[in-house]
Amino acid sequence: MIGASLRRTAEQRFVLGRGRFLDDLAPAGCLHLGVIRSTHAHARVVAVRLDAARTLPGVAAAWAAADLPEVPEAMPSAFSPGKKTWGQSILVHDVARFAGEPVAVVVADTPSRLADALEAVTVEYAPLPTLARVDAAYTSATKLHDGWSDNTAFVTKGSMGDAEAALATAHVVVRERFRHGRLAAVPIETRGVVAYTEGSTLVVWSSTQSLYSVRDVVAAALGLPSEEVRVLVPDVGGGFGPKGSTYPEEVLVAAAARRLGRPVKWAEGRREHFLATGHDREQEHEIRVGFARDGAIVGIDGTFLADVGAYPAAGDGLAANTVNHLCSPYRVRHYRNVGRGVVTTKTQNAAYRAAGRPEATFVMERLMDIGARRLGLDPADVRRANLIKTAEMPYRPGLTYKDGVPISVDPGDFHTAFEHVLTMLGYETWRKRQAARRTTARRIGIGLGCYLQGTGLGPYESATIRVDPSGKVYVYIGVVAQGQGHATTLAQIAAAELGARFEDVQVVAGDTALLPFGMGTGGSRVTANSGPAVAKTAREVRTKAARVGAELLECAPEDVRIEAGQVFVAGLPTRSVPLGRVASAAVKSKALKPMGEPGLNACAYYYPDTVTWAFGTNAAVVEVDIETCAIRLLQFVASHDPGRAINPQIVEGQLHGGLVQGIGAGLMEEIVYDDDAQLLTGSLMDYAIPKADDVPFITVALDEHPSVVNDLGVKGVGESGCIAPAAVIANAIEDAVADLGVTLTEVPVTPARLFAALSAARAASRQLAVRATERGRGPGEPACPASARMARRSPPRVRSESELRPPNPPGGSRGQPNPWRLARSRSERARRLRLAMSAGAGQAGSSGPRPRSVARQPSRASSGVRSISSSAISSS
Ligand code: MCN
């Protein structure tokens, strides 16, 4: 049963269009709530004018912060990393800190009347200076939060050995700056909330990943006991992390339902989703890595800034993930990294699938390729030189994970898995094809990348299992699925451990009334937490069934066997009773007296000691047209270690989904703000996600090495696909054009970015050629304008990087200026200076108090892209 690709029968209703999602809920008399959102990224709210909206037909209420004294100013969930206090407004009382922050709500009887009422609201703002770029915000005189001495929300560090001393011994030191773009998770279903009262209970339906957090936050915000708030989760069409946070709308809808005594619904629109649901991944790294002559890493030293938006709502855990995963599958003895979470006037951050690891892998895997090129080695060989060996397991790098436990890498065979991926790809064959195409416009590039992921963060999960007299087995869990297939995989575990038929097991989730606690779906944790909890509980139920079965079958409990829902005497399968009959007898049987309670049921909690570590490798081949800058993904292969796959087909599906999201991060996805921190990518026309024809068939191999952390041997997979693709794609694209002098330091690598990088490299190469010509002049010889003109007109022969690099001095290349690199970094410096100046100019322009502006909520129909992103949007 465990290890079989059983079909997801429990989820067939999705295929048949019978899913029941948040916006399908329509309680009788339901009102619709819409949110007025700040049109400014940073502004004092001077006045909110709601009277015109209140008089419109069908409008039940229109409230600004002052109208809802029962709602506190700030979300009770406010996390204070680094001991700095802050409050995320539920409705802005005074200062709005990002465009999209809730300023007021309107409630009406129909969605169309709600839309009209939202347009009747006007808000007067006094704009304040914006912080659109994380590097500028880091040093800005404008402080976003009261009482803060700077805009740094937290600092997270990790170190082992002596990085500085190790770097001094390196044969080659690569120093580079990298930036990972800001991303949205883009689930197919946006967020939504429905709330109503039922007797003394406040019922809240939410499309959340963390139902217990919603319960506790709503209860705390409205001053209710948690026991009087029941949170339910309907089917959810994807979450990918940001739905794990609790947002102001959950509190606002609940408050409105209590005030009005009627059900109230809010269903987020797509534009609202881009504006108001948490973003992730925006990080800027500055890093040095030292390599020995054979490619072995001798030390790494880095710092980075993480743009956490207006509120560090996800705490320091994401940046801590980056610190702890950067060196991950490689043997690095000397390492230092410092991450700073910096607030800007952008949407707050949230964990997005893999949270902090794709950024780390992007930086590390780019460094691997740049290092390989500098050393004249094959990128595969540099990885071979550094991957942790099986004999070194359990590998303990010397870092401490965010659960406070020193990292100890689960056993695995990284080298064999890596070689397998190269074989699956046809690495050598592609290298030959690449060489054959080197002088053509359509080049081939090959990219590699490896990762290790800490999965299955605790502290615990639980399960209650009850066998019904009908023979059905109910498994109650404290986590909800957004598409992962828990109803199938956890049923497989329960059936295997209890001896029930798979078809008889029903997994029930998504209701805080079922179990008192749960930690939510995230961090690829359900299989490694709920899985062992279900197994443990099923074993307890099995023990009870054996006691009661022994009574019915007149044998010793040790002789009872349970298989496929039949309870029988060992060796006598015909002497059996159905499990349901045993469940029925268990209600009155005294055989259960020593177990303390009647019935075939049990509840158990499982606390993992720490996380499990899952290894994976991705490889890709791209075709890059250097004339049009079109990039085509030709092949993508991946290998991942799930420990022990409960359902291999689901695991592959999880990996496919994650890989495609990672491919999007590498090629096209990016949340873009302008210099005033206005969102420019507020729709799916502007925010590109991969379509079916952007992605080739992806081959996935499962390389199973059971975890030693839990007795099922499972490791997580839900996020893992997402970790390496952006790095691998950047590596592949650079591999296609590296001989032209291109180094890629930012994802996504869009055709426009590639064009800019190629143009800069060509310009640098031309400059070099001119200088070389000038250097060739004899003393006192006049400059030859004709040859300089020639150099400008016809680009010089494209030279390989090794040709451009000066020969290494005996004993190493340290300390030798590399003219090609200097030229490139000068152009990079110039680019950054231009950016910094434009950011500074934007700031200077907005530094003084601007004239007050009155924003009328623009019509949705007439909004252009710009107003889309800054407008208040109704939805229902
Ligand atoms: N599985 C398995 N064998 C293993 C490990 C996992 O069969 N050794 C199965 C599990 O039983 C489960 C699925 O694979 O059905 C994912 O398991 P796991 O890795 O434990 O991840 P979680 O169940 O905790 O899911 C969370 C994870 C995260 S953090 C994000 S983000 C994410 C993801 O899963 N969001 C998703 N996958 C998603 N898939 C869909 N369709 N939609 C999302 O929003």
Q: 466: closest CA among 515, 511, 433? A: 515
Mutate to test the pocket of ligand 1, among 243, 524, 525, 649 (most ligand atoms within 8 A of CB): 524
Helix spans in 387-451 (H): 414-425, 427-437
Mean pLDDT of the chain, nearest integer: 89
Residue type, 322: T
Q: 632: closest CA among 724, 696, 722? A: 696
Tell me the average pLDDT across 778-795: 40
Tell me the average pLDDT across 220-228: 97
Residue 475 backbone phi and psi in degrees, to 5 = -115, 110
pLDDT at position 241 = 97
pTM of the entire predicted model: 0.89
pLDDT of residue 809 exceeding 80: no
Return the higher-pLDDT residue of 826 and 347. 347
Mapped onto helix, strand or coil, the DSSP state of residue 577 is: strand
Tell me the average pLDDT across 577-601: 96
Cβ neighbors of 399 (< 8 A, separation 6 or more) are 158, 160, 323, 324, 335, 406, 407
∠ at Cα 432 (427, 436), nearest 5°? Answer: 145
Mutate to test the pocket of ligand 1, among 484, 525, 530, 722 (most ligand atoms within 8 A of CB): 484
Pocket of ligand 1 from Cβ distances under 6 Å? 187, 238-241, 353, 482-486, 489, 521-527, 642-647, 650-651, 654, 657, 714-719
264-267: strand order across its sheet = 59-64, 102-108, 31-37, 264-267, 192-198, 201-206, 229-232
Contact assessment for residue 136 and residue 676, using Cβ atoms and an 8 Å cutoff: no
Range 399-416 burial, b when 16+ CB lie within 10 A, else e: bebbeeeebbbbbbbbee
Tell me the average pLDDT across 33-38: 98
pLDDT at position 644 = 97
Can you read off the two tokens belonging to residue 696? 């080739």
pLDDT at position 794 = 35
Residue 303 backbone phi and psi in degrees, to 5 = -140, 155
d(CA 716, CA 707): 10
Q: What is the pLDDT of residues 78-105, one digit of tens each?
A: 566 557 889 999 999 999 999 999 999 9
Give the Å distance between the CA of 433 and the centre of ligand 1: 37
pLDDT at position 573 = 87
What are the DSSP E strand ranges found in 442-600? 442-455, 461-467, 473-477, 505-508, 560-563, 566-569, 572-578
Give the Å distance between the CA of 27 and the centre of ligand 1: 31
Q: 455: closest CA among 418, 484, 435, 427? A: 484
Return the higher-pLDDT residue of 783 and 76. 76
Give the Å distance between the CA of 126 and the centre of ligand 1: 45
Only one residue has tokens 């100013």, namely 73
Q: What is the pLDDT of residues 263-276, one digit of tens each?
A: 999 999 999 999 99
pLDDT at position 578 = 98
pLDDT of residue 844 exceeding 70: no
Confidence bin at 618 (pLDDT 50/70/90): very high
pLDDT of residue 345 exceeding 80: yes
* DSSP symbols for 103-152: EEEEEESSHHHHHHHHHT-EEEEEE-----SHHHHHH-S--SSTT-SSSE
Find the helix packing angle between 751-775 and 819-847, rounded to 10°: 130
Ligand 1 atom closest to the Cα of residue 243 is 44
